[in-house]
Structure 1
């Protein structure tokens, strides 16, 4: 029996605090617009399109924060089953392995257990979206020139969470009867990524067959 999204994605299982958009700001209004479009049953390809007269960086910023929050919750539902024993390497099946690299501890691509990789991934994204110089909360502060490039890296890394969850932990999602919610989130994420060219097609390969069977 299907359960509600609120029941499935318990806020206590969230890896990180949700980044909230400030009430009354232009970006909060864009967030409400985006949510209203989704809830109205509008075709997802139409829902992700940039509203007339709006700035593309604002639209991307709102969605990147929302995707981080949602995917954070999705992984939170399976994280107790994603252990160093069950997932000794961050992967998407036998053909795809993801190695972590950053500017601090892991300066070369390093193989890590999936839960450790996920922690680093969520930490890194949280740092980006909470950095006022990258994701300014005031519309009076301009986005950095490399903003879209940063968002591409964020979206690429978030996609890897979907890959791991779908390939290694989807049985848990099925047990919770939450597949419809996860699939909807994935479709929204995928369509947005394609609309704004935010993920390289090579990165999409691990879920290519599944995606082709979905009603996108």
Structure 2
């Protein structure tokens, strides 16, 4: 059987002007991941990422650690199917209708880094509306369209894969969630309950035979736990 390793990017710059940049912690997480993979002697036949900077930087940093340890790594390919959904667009489209029930929502969103718990509560409510589809707008990518985007990327991998290939995909939490939804048939709302638990740079292992794909492991963070540095275990 072949293997696909879905790897969430390192911690991004939550609350900064540009979220799509690894924080110092995110960069360190990617280094630790690469060193761990090298120690395991795990090699890849293909490596892909979305084209978001945080995804590519995580991949490049981890692969550099593997190269430094003497492992041969393939060139990094990009496929926009593995980009994260546009969370800012979802918030902009769906938040206004919630303001009567959540009068402080705009203030919380503008100061998200200082209101993390309240941001997460509101964001979960917004995502719930997005998943339901009743509030879709023509300009906003729907959850179903996002799932189709991710499925197309997975299909392209499977179409060109050999039966025992090992493939790394550096991506994001929402993309991993969509794949879990597709592969395990877990309802979208339950899949997003798992989403909130996906740790930065965690490993999620899929096994495939032809077009059949199954989940082998979810959200492995042993590489971070072995560092005995709790600050490296982050969720956003």
The TM tier, using the shorter chain, reads under 0.3
Of Structure 1 and Structure 2, which has the larger fraction of its residues in strand? 2
User: TM-score, normalization: structure 2?
Assistant: 0.25
Greater C-alpha Rg:
2
Of Structure 1 and Structure 2, which has the larger fraction of its residues in helix? 1
Greater relative contact order structure (CA < 8 Å, 6+ sep): 2
User: TM-score, normalization: structure 1?
Assistant: 0.27
